[in-house]
Structure 1
């Protein structure tokens, strides 16, 4: 677990930390802070620091949070890996690039004219004198060619895969759960952590931007038995579920969030598998937490401990039984909310902000913290004011998009969803944190809807033909129309 070191006010480190809060910075790039970015695939808010699930065990991520700012109201720009990561790395919204589905890493800048002008986050740091290195899943597949100086590779899929499926055999998904393989050394995340540790043990002659993309808890939820043993099945608490939850949502909400290849909660209850799935998801989180801890320990033991920004994020939320589903790919809270923790070099105490932020905000925030000039194309918001003061006044919202003109707007209290056919959902989290009561038709909340509606994106780019998603009929039709140039 990462432990705090004394803060030394002097020399280059003082210059770097002063710049992170807006002071002027000399041209010498060696005075700038390093960046360590850790991306965790399909990690929702189920970490201890987020109070996301009572049975979770994440001592290393929680240890980082004790010295950092945890954003408890952080949301993905899209509830799907490909468009979310494209948005994070370009600093552009899906509604701007037309990347609403998955996209090959090297095709991102081919999406449309605005995407073609983008500079990837890592490239921006490289252009300003940083050494950039990555391993694992940073973009959707790995990295875009040339976006980092060095790439340590990525296992092509999400294995290792058991010789036969344990529980779930439907095609079109890696979803499965069970104890496999025998040893951690057989998992790609083991190799990624080792590679990151080696990078942090190296002598760097200029500031670095190092990114590590961990695969678990992406499906299959398979990790060695010892991680399951940390979560005895008798102690597992199930997340909240209301059988008739979706009775008051528009038909289009069901169309965009139903994926026949995924389990439903009703099935999991009938088959007696729900606790086993929750156990497997928690085991996968505990597994990845351990290897995140190895990287954080390596940073703490290195000469860079006192001059490195650490940012840890999941790429979107994930339903683990809520909303009758085990999936991402929806505009409800459990599919959009994720983990975001940012540690400044000088921070040694815990801070928590409940203001709404988006993962697209990371690009301008890291640029500001490193003292680099603003990238004028960035559509996210610099959230350093919330790092300085977690309860600062904040006018912005978190916006999530899933297909053209389908958006969720989240502020500190409400979630407003508007679909391309004009239908709506509205939830008051002060009284309904599970989003069981759709208030959109209640005239009492018309002013709330109007305020949130004003935050919707002003443009909705056409679905780009380089982006595709065919996992249900709704998105398959959109993908095929885009490919046909319609």
Structure 2
């Protein structure tokens, strides 16, 4: 009898404990049922990282770590191969051809009364705030940092892309634009390379990660949206010596290059690619600097990889580890000698393709998708992953069904725009480019992955080219009054001409 009583008492205690735990979990769940979002931007990062191209045996263990946590898109493309319009497109959810934001636009001028498409737009972080999220951001997220009051809590951004030595290490930033005939036509670039400063703690990105780490240790009444914008690998390609030491010069590969590659490029394409302030590939070869530039870029990638690892460690050691969606993206690719120069600024593959990785609850782990997709999809994808209502102004499509079920892979494409009415389409292993004067480029990547032979006039591809044209935008807005790109003479002239 006594034994039965103790058994009954133990069962009651056990059921009561279970009920208490269930009630506590329900309370916690009802308080914060939506996932947090960690939104990570890396400036000027091309696809050389190990989860995608693994170029020259690049060392990026933390990019690999993130890729194993989720889904890597190996064929993601930006909406503009230039940071300002690319980021404006991602944050508004609208194409450059819709907004007319083709150049650099001050953060506070992206949404303005004079632009009918953006005057009432809701930026990505704002949409989360309007739907019950606490929003935070630090570093380069929009072109500079962010428009005023976009984040509930802002860590700001260190001005420029320093730290800088007292004197440049190699490149003066002017190049051949110092010549009299080009005086005033071209600006000065931050392009330079070499080991500087002495240690990681002097890098602005290190302090940004410190800020994120500290906030991941806090308690929040709401789910959070946290943006982190890395400045590297943007030029100058300066990081401490230890990152250069990972890449001995004798082991460095250089990208594929053909000296007569531009012979079949249309005039507008050549004008866009006219960048004398940047080192040319021929100069880099003759001076012996090509491998050194590549080494510096790889060193910068590995430095960012280290800082990414610190972020992943902080998240893993926080209470938010199991309920946070991560997205990592870059604003465009970067050419390291391809097509004759060291720059973004083009509608070719190496300028438009950039990393895109998602990880989080309910997503596959270690999956790769090779279909072409757009950075424009980040906005609607994050909304769906966070169980938020779709925003009807978004021009991109959510990638959730593709990640979970491979849906839409066969029909996916990517559209990139550079200036008014200059577009590139990536679909089915082909790239089609149409410039404002109607002249075209076409590349079959199965036969010509380096885009060395313009097959726009090849009758073999006539049907395919007509199919690609269907994806060109129907709207090509004039330049927004606040958007400019004075760095490149072609865009200065185009804005004057079309407006």
**Which bin holds the TM-score, normalised by the shorter protein?**
over 0.9
Residue 162 of structure 2 aligns with which residue? 159
Equivalent residue in structure 2 for 1:84, among 73, 83, 86: 86
Residue 475 of structure 1 aligns with which residue? 491
Q: How does 1:178-193 map to 2 (within 5 A)?
A: 178-193=194-209
| Displacement of 1:302 | 0.8
Q: How does 1:273-312 map to 2 (within 5 A)?
A: 273-312=289-328
| Displacement of 1:51 | 1.8
Give the secondary structure class of the aligned counterpart of 2:325.
strand
Whole-angstrom distance in 2 between the partners of 1:176 and 1:54: 21
Equivalent residue in structure 1 for 2:400, among 384, 390, 400: 384
Residue 94 of structure 1 aligns with which residue? 96
Is 1:115 the counterpart of 2:118 in the alignment? yes
Kept in 2, the 8 Å contact 1:262–1:326? The answer is yes
| Displacement of 1:397 | 1.2
Equivalent residue in structure 2 for 1:315, among 324, 331, 339: 331
Kept in 2, the 8 Å contact 1:415–1:426? The answer is yes
Residue 185 of structure 2 aligns with which residue? none
In the superposition, the TM-score normalised over structure 2's length comes to: 0.90
Give the secondary structure class of the aligned counterpart of 1:35.
strand
| Displacement of 1:146 | 1.2
Equivalent residue in structure 2 for 1:410, among 420, 426, 431: 426
Is 1:124 the counterpart of 2:127 in the alignment? yes
Shift >6 Å, 4+ stretches: 10-14
Is 1:328 the counterpart of 2:344 in the alignment? yes
Residue 232 of structure 1 aligns with which residue? 248
Whole-angstrom distance in 2 between the partners of 1:435 and 1:412: 15
Residue 46 of structure 2 aligns with which residue? 44
Which one is further off, 151-160 or 470-479?
470-479
Give the secondary structure class of the aligned counterpart of 1:54.
helix
Kept in 1, the 8 Å contact 2:379–2:394? The answer is yes
Residue 30 of structure 1 aligns with which residue? 32
Give the secondary structure class of the aligned counterpart of 2:344.
coil
Whole-angstrom distance in 1 between the partners of 2:87 and 2:326: 18
Whole-angstrom distance in 2 between the partners of 1:106 and 1:411: 35
Structure 1 residues 13 and 469: alpha-carbon distance in aligned structure 2, compared to 1, 3 A threshold: farther
Rg comparison, structure with higher value: 2
| Displacement of 1:41 | 0.3
In the superposition, the TM-score normalised over structure 1's length comes to: 0.92
| Displacement of 1:199 | 1.2
| Displacement of 1:478 | 2.8
Is 1:223 the counterpart of 2:239 in the alignment? yes
Whole-angstrom distance in 2 between the partners of 1:473 and 1:160: 29
Residue 459 of structure 1 aligns with which residue? 475
| Displacement of 1:140 | 0.3
Whole-angstrom distance in 2 between the partners of 1:248 and 1:354: 28
Is 1:340 the counterpart of 2:342 in the alignment? no
Which one is further off, 385-394 or 212-221?
385-394
Give the secondary structure class of the aligned counterpart of 2:473.
coil
Deviations 1:332-379 (A, max 9, x none): 000000000001224462000011111111001101111111111100
Give the secondary structure class of the aligned counterpart of 1:426.
strand
Q: Provide structure 1 residue ranges, at least 5 long, that are not aligned to the other structure.
A: 1-9, 17-25
Whole-angstrom distance in 2 between the partners of 1:481 and 1:298: 51
Whole-angstrom distance in 2 between the partners of 1:480 and 1:470: 12
Residue 136 of structure 1 aligns with which residue? 139
Whole-angstrom distance in 2 between the partners of 1:117 and 1:414: 36
Whole-angstrom distance in 2 between the partners of 1:285 and 1:465: 35
| Displacement of 1:170 | 2.8
Is 1:360 the counterpart of 2:363 in the alignment? no
- When the two chains are superposed, the root-mean-square deviation of aligned CA atoms in Å is 1.9
Residue 6 of structure 1 aligns with which residue? none
Q: Provide structure 2 residue ranges, at least 5 long, that are not aligned to the other structure.
A: 1-21, 175-187
Structure 1 residues 451 and 128: alpha-carbon distance in aligned structure 2, compared to 1, 3 A threshold: same
Give the secondary structure class of the aligned counterpart of 2:135.
strand
Residue 20 of structure 1 aligns with which residue? none
Kept in 2, the 8 Å contact 1:427–1:439? The answer is yes
